Structure 1
């Protein structure tokens, strides 16, 4: 049986990242969170995506300790929240993340949103790589102009840009910019935060392939070469979200998806939390 959880991309620093991971946004109940993460790791997930603002680092730390999996086989991503983007605050936030996750290093840390202090935050991340605290660094919610600016000043190129990306927000300009600079694209909100059930084109494809609407969205992102981090609060969905290897969207299906009127479900990166 094909297991997409074993598949990886090679980042621009020659390190690997799993193509599929577990998103943990809103996973704040300790008992439920620990059990869900353990179920995901048992199912084969190795990428776990979190953030300082999610307030679940300690839940993830406990789940990891209770699983029989080697640290080197896990890929942990976190993000530095907006209020900590000034240089000294970012340095402190990196150490706090390490302490809360009870890890010697983090595989990937991202600048969570492109605030006005984003470049100070990124400088702190570059230093964290040099200090061995972080293996890879990247950004989240960066638009084309944010990426171009960063590329012009950074010492270490971002390996990834995690953006709102789904069949109703194809975000092609940002995707093309990332490809131009050999930066991987990671999709958040891939299932449109539940709104996929309301979109006729997605419902039609779900019926055609006898799949759920979330699976259609995940297949679309996977087929486009994006890292995907579906989140769920239900252990049964942990496996279901990976069952997207046995069908392929054809050109006609892609044209149908491209006919969806685009809309942003999350905040506008150019006008958020400055």
Structure 2
């Protein structure tokens, strides 16, 4: 089975492709078009975006141009923080559908655990009931945020997308998600581009004749995480998918575990945006 065919089952019986294309910071029209076209041509069928990325409309145009059927695709977006109040969240769902030119979206996430996150969740539950969204989940939620949500949710979150890479393995959070039957999704899997500077990763790249990026992606893939690497360069989009022909040994995985821990993105317990 190729990496493009591997899917993970949600707690609502839907499935998500384990490997997909991230689109964070992709705002240049040509870059979006070339990146997504290269991905779809190669076999990617999972595209991750968000309101705050500002690229929904161009993604819609490129998908339409590609000729790939809607039912073959899995598309994720996220509701940005300023829209987490109930009324704004209801409108945000409709806006996302309109901008992506979709009748439904496969997955919508709450982007960060703002104080209004429970209001937003209620709006997302109603969107599921209305058939606008197939699955709903969370992003950057820590254990305490998950526990709070699980107490009141009528529909349980299917996934938690958070910063997760060899320098931030988040063992406790991963375990907490799995205990609650929530799929784990990694963003920043390449240590936000810093994997090329990490000694352990570079050494393993030489051992396997792979790039440091491919080592990080293989690490996350073997651990069962959903991964969504992004690149504005079509050749890198292709390279990122080339980790299917080798497997890291347990010794290699233990070696990666010696990478010094560091958070590169915002701390979900203390953010202000």
Fold in common (TM above 0.5): yes
Match of 2:51 in 1: 52
Contact 1:115 1:273 in 2 (8 A): no
How is 1:180-259 mapped onto 2 (pairs within 5 angstroms)? 180-259=179-258
Q: 1:270 aligns to what SS in structure 2? A: coil
Match of 1:114 in 2: 113
Q: 1:231 aligns to what SS in structure 2? A: coil
For each residue in 1:250-269, what CA deviation from the matched residue of structure 2 results, as whole angstroms up to 9, or x when unmatched? Answer: 12111111111111000000
For each residue in 1:44-69, what CA deviation from the matched residue of structure 2 results, as whole angstroms up to 9, or x when unmatched? Answer: 11100000000000011001110111
- TM-score, normalised with respect to structure 1: 0.98
CA drift of 1:39 comes to: 1.4
CA drift of 1:207 comes to: 0.8
- TM-score, normalised with respect to structure 2: 0.98
For each residue in 1:218-242, what CA deviation from the matched residue of structure 2 results, as whole angstroms up to 9, or x when unmatched? Answer: 0000000000000011101112111
How is 1:155-174 mapped onto 2 (pairs within 5 angstroms)? 155-174=154-173
Match of 2:32 in 1: 33
Match of 2:133 in 1: 134
Q: In 2, Cα distance between the equivalents of 1:123 and 1:34?
A: 34
How is 1:147-162 mapped onto 2 (pairs within 5 angstroms)? 147-162=146-161
For each residue in 1:154-204, what CA deviation from the matched residue of structure 2 results, as whole angstroms up to 9, or x when unmatched? Answer: 000101000100000000111000100111000000001111011101111
Further displaced range: 28-37 or 185-194: 28-37
For each residue in 1:100-149, what CA deviation from the matched residue of structure 2 results, as whole angstroms up to 9, or x when unmatched? Answer: 00100110000000011111111100000000110000000000111111
Q: 1:222 aligns to what SS in structure 2? A: helix
CA drift of 1:32 comes to: 2.0
CA drift of 1:273 comes to: 2.4
Match of 2:89 in 1: 90
Contact 1:144 1:174 in 2 (8 A): yes
After TM superposition, the runs of 4+ consecutive aligned structure 1 residues lying more than 4 A away are none
Q: 1:187 aligns to what SS in structure 2? A: strand
Q: In 2, Cα distance between the equivalents of 1:37 and 1:126?
A: 30
Q: In 2, Cα distance between the equivalents of 1:54 and 1:208?
A: 36
CA drift of 1:35 comes to: 2.0
Q: 2:200 aligns to what SS in structure 1? A: helix
Contact 2:51 2:77 in 1 (8 A): yes
Number of equivalenced pairs: 273
Q: 1:149 aligns to what SS in structure 2? A: helix
Contact 2:34 2:233 in 1 (8 A): no
Match of 1:179 in 2: 178
Q: 1:6 aligns to what SS in structure 2? A: coil
Q: In 1, Cα distance between the equivalents of 2:201 and 2:34?
A: 31
CA drift of 1:3 comes to: 2.1
- Structure 1 unaligned blocks of 5 or more: none
Contact 1:82 1:273 in 2 (8 A): no
